[in-house]
Amino acid sequence: MTAPLNLPCPISPDDGPVVLLGHGGGGLLSQRLLQQVILPALGTTDGVLLDAATLKTEGGELAFSTDGHVVRPLEFPGGDIGSLAVFGTVNDLAMLGATPLALSLGLILEEGLPLSTLSRLLRSAAAAADRCGVSVVTGDTKVVEKGKADGLFMTTAGIGRIPAGVSIGPRAIRSGDVILVSGDLGRHGVAILAAREELGFSTSLASDLAPLHGSVQALLAAGLDLHALRDLTRGGLAAALHELCRDAGLGALVHEAEVPVHGAVASACELLGLDPFTMASEGRFVLMLPEAQAQEALKLLRRWQSGAAIIGRIGGEALLLETSLGVRRPLELGRGELLPRIC
Amino acid sequence: MSGSPPHRQRQEVQRLLDALHTETRRSWTLMEVCGGQTHAILRHGLDQLIPPQLELIHGPGCPVCVTAAETIDRALALAARPEVILCTYGDMLRVPGTGPSHLLEARANGADVRVITAPLDVLAVARSHPGRQVVFFAVGFETTAPATALLAHQAWSGGAQNLSLLVSHVRVPPAMEAILTAPECRVQGFLAAGHVCAVMGRTEYEPIAAQHRRPIVITGFEPLDLLEGMLRAVRQLERGEARVEDAYPRAGAGVGNASARALITKVFTRCDQHWRGLGMLPGSGLRLRPPYDALDAARRFPSAARPDTDTDTDTDTDTEGCISGLVLQGLARPDACPRFGRGCSPERPLGAPMVSAEGACAAYWRYRERT
Ligand code: SF4
């Protein structure tokens, strides 16, 4: 992979001296923050800090993950911050092929949050954990002054067990691998934008928020050789593919016409000047595996989501998109915060 | 799988491409006026599918990137005041002023900057914050001007005490005139932006087409719309015609929207306006006319916001190596710029066309492979 990640300038002159909202958007700014500030400061030198890590123990391999959740509004069509916090961490574990074992839940509460809201959100988190067959075994609660938090922030961490012989990650990606997505893109991002009144548009779409470990376990049970998995959260498909390709040191070709996008997501994006490829999903992932197994994987994935599709193939040096008119161009990474444009 | 049935669309695209290839017999240059068109052309790769004799030149038409740097400075100064809530469109937030800072950074530093998609939303912000001063930073072509005018009218007639406007609307026809009268102009025909014409109609374009002998075809923003527009422009050029033609009838672009125009005339008067990259263009701006000028942010905050007409400097084109003036006039392609990708990128733009996502340099940055 070449540009856009090898920009000559370090973060300070490009991005200014302070953290911007866009640094959390999953795009170029997020990647630079991680690579130029966070990883060096933590002394992590190989440049890879996956959403979940593998820990070798005597009893086998464990997956370990943590995630902070700051969604606004707290409740949105298709879910809320409670279910999001649980599924988000379960999904990070699932992307390593792991079965979730236990979760922790940290709460930062803002003074003034109605207790009825808090217990509703916690019941939702508990129901989500139940659905994933996992328990919340430890936690922490802090309260901050009014104005210091958006009602409530949640942090979850999770541990999962990786079955023997399973080793999923960007380094397993090979040239010729087929790329699949597990369903249509961007419903979560559009549902959240619509739920924020300031954008003044509405949609009947609900978030795609869902746990993913079930479908991953089915793929593994079928004996498929999963090379890499990545859930399509912040930054969407574009960010996931950029990261996976960069870490694999390979390019890819994606066919725009094959990428599933619901009509309502497409038209909301057109209206707001946003790109469905960079919109977040909370219940979708991208999968890379050998070509010979692609059809079987597709058949299995479609049991969960009818929109699952084969969208491209690994190969070459650059990450390219073939447009629906047959022209090839770079697949662009979103830049950061989603800003609807004027015309 | 994005809305319309892709197979049918692709067949239609092929039919138009075939016609373009057979009917383009000589070399022609067409300018698409609007950044939205440039963006669509590069995004879908249309420029790589049309006949090589047909050259597309990218116009200045991105209202965000032509907003004068000094106007952004004024917005930044207003946003920095603790009593002010500054509301504007999302893509204004990344545009730097005369220095490197932009509204996103101001917001990160504590300024209350809010993204709106419809100007009337500003009224609601003002109502729910009676103790604050709400300023709407209004930019855009004739497309967004009626909504700004409506806001101004409602705010004025409702006697809103805490709402004012920093207006930087621009008009397209004076920019087309400026491009055509430049001595080096290579533009032989225009693809005019359908959404502008959906408000303004075609009448302002008739004298330009007649006087300069250039066909002007009104188009939409989908691949089929743009190819249809190119085909009609080429047909005119091949026959030696120079008319205004509407290839976007579904938007009512031929007649426009009379009540929107009336609203613009009621609230605004034309003024000379400085365009980032193009300089001062006579009659190309809109400013509030009495009594609505009582809502002018320059009046409410004299120290932070003076009217645009005071400015005739051109700070951005001074940046070393940036050829944005040439790019905006269609005299050079972004990839011909020595700074393209070498010190100039959307994260750190040196000139207007890299500033907003719809500027021509930014479109090449996003959709073309960089060497
Ligand atoms: S690429 Fe940058 S430096 Fe070159 S003309 Fe465009 S804006 Fe100016």
Could you read off the pLDDT tens digit of each residue along chain A, which spans 343 residues? 222 222 222 223 345 677 777 777 667 777 778 778 888 788 765 545 567 788 888 888 999 999 898 888 899 999 999 999 999 999 999 999 999 999 999 999 999 999 999 999 999 999 999 999 999 999 999 999 988 888 999 999 999 999 999 999 999 999 999 999 999 999 999 999 888 766 667 788 999 999 999 999 999 999 999 999 999 998 899 999 999 999 999 999 999 999 999 999 998 888 777 889 999 999 999 999 999 999 999 999 999 999 999 999 999 999 999 998 889 999 988 766 666 666 5
Please classify residue B175 by burial: count the beta carbons closer than 10 Å to its beta carbon, then call 0-12 exposed, 13-18 middle and 19+ buried. Answer: buried
B96 lines ligand 1 (CB under 6 A): no
Cα distance between residue B358 and residue B366, in whole Å: 10
| Chain B nearest CA to A342, separation (Å) | 6
Q: What is the ipTM of this complex?
A: 0.74
Identify the pLDDT of residue A50: 65
Identify the pLDDT of residue B36: 86
Helix segments in B24-85, DSSP class H: 35-44, 63-66, 69-79
Q: How far is the CA of A9 from the centre of ligand 1 (A)?
A: 17
As a whole number, mean pLDDT of residues B226-254 equals 93
Identify the pLDDT of residue A289: 97
DSSP code of residue A8: S
Report CB contact under 8 Å: A16, B10: no
A104 versus B94: the higher-pLDDT residue is A104
B359 lines ligand 1 (CB under 6 A): no
B344 lines ligand 1 (CB under 6 A): yes
Q: How far is the CA of B327 from the centre of ligand 1 (A)?
A: 8
B361 lines ligand 1 (CB under 6 A): yes
Q: What are phi and psi of A214, to 5 degrees?
A: -60, -50
Contacting residues of A for B343, CB less than 8 Å apart = 8
- Determine the residue of chain A that is closest to B109 in CA distance: A18
pTM metric for this prediction: 0.82
Ranked by mean pLDDT, the top range of A34-43, B5-14, B182-191 is B182-191
Run of H or E including A119: helix A115-131
- Paired with A328 in beta bridges are A322
Point out the ligand 1 atom lying closest to the alpha carbon of residue B344.
2
Identify the pLDDT of residue A12: 30
Contact A62, A74 (CB under 8 A): no
The per-residue pLDDT for range B115-135, each reduced to its tens digit, is 888 899 999 999 999 999 999
Cα distance between residue B135 and residue B122, in whole Å: 8
Report CB contact under 8 Å: B91, A342: yes
Of A3, A198, A338, the CB nearest to B370: A3
The token pair at A90 is 């379960």
DSSP code of residue A182: S
Identify the pLDDT of residue B56: 95
Question: What proportion of chain B, given as a percentage, has pLDDT over 70?
Answer: 93
- Determine the residue of chain A that is closest to B42 in CA distance: A329
Identify the pLDDT of residue A4: 26
Contact B138, B165 (CB under 8 A): yes
CB environment B249-268: b (16+ within 10 A), e (fewer):
eebebbebbeebbebbeebb
Contacts of A207 (CB under 8 A, 6+ apart): A76, A77, A78, A79, A187, A188, A191, A192, A282, A283
Contacting residues of A for B63, CB less than 8 Å apart = 342-343
Cα distance between residue B195 and residue B145, in whole Å: 12
Point out the ligand 1 atom lying closest to the alpha carbon of residue B324.
5
CB atoms within 10 A of CB A10: 11
Contact A331, A241 (CB under 8 A): yes
> Beta strand pairing status for B189-193 and B28-34?
parallel
Identify the pLDDT of residue A237: 96
Of A18, A330, A342, the CB nearest to B144: A342
Helices and strands in chain B: count of H runs, count of E runs = 16, 11
- Determine the residue of chain B that is closest to A201 in CA distance: B117
As a whole number, mean pLDDT of residues B172-193 equals 92
The token pair at B149 is 């005018």
Identify the pLDDT of residue A221: 96
Cα distance between residue B104 and residue A14, in whole Å: 13
Identify the pLDDT of residue A45: 54
B33 lines ligand 1 (CB under 6 A): no
Contacts of B62 (CB under 8 A, 6+ apart): B34, B35, B36, B38, B352, B353, B356, B358, B359, B360
Helix axes A213-221, A81-94, angle to 10 degrees: 20
- Paired with A65 in beta bridges are A52, A158
Cα distance between residue B295 and residue B299, in whole Å: 7
Q: How far is the CA of B332 from the centre of ligand 1 (A)?
A: 10
B247 lines ligand 1 (CB under 6 A): no
- DSSP for B217-247 reads EEE-SSHHHHHHHHHHHHHHHHHT---EEES
As a whole number, mean pLDDT of residues B104-123 equals 90
> In chain A, what are the helix, strand and coil shares in percent, each to the nearest 5?
35, 25, 40
Of A184, A318, A325, the CB nearest to B223: A325
B275 lines ligand 1 (CB under 6 A): no
The per-residue pLDDT for range B202-239, each reduced to its tens digit, is 999 999 999 999 999 999 988 999 999 999 999 999 99
Point out the ligand 1 atom lying closest to the alpha carbon of residue B321.
3
CB atoms within 10 A of CB A114: 9
Quickly state the pLDDT bin for B1 (edges 50, 70, 90). very low
Of A14, A266, A338, the CB nearest to B347: A14
B50 lines ligand 1 (CB under 6 A): no
* Rounded to 5°, angle at Cα A210 from A206 and A213: 165
- Determine the residue of chain B that is closest to A8 in CA distance: B343
Contacting residues of A for B66, CB less than 8 Å apart = none
Mutate to test the pocket of ligand 1, among B66, B276, B324, B333 (most ligand atoms within 8 A of CB): B324
- Determine the residue of chain A that is closest to B36 in CA distance: A343
Mean pLDDT score of chain B: 88
Identify the pLDDT of residue B305: 59
Rg (CA), chain A: 19
Residue with tokens 């527009």: B229
Report CB contact under 8 Å: B108, A199: no
For ligand 1, atom 1, which residue shows the shortest CA distance?
A: B340
Count of pairs with CB atoms under 8 A, one residue in A, one in B: 136
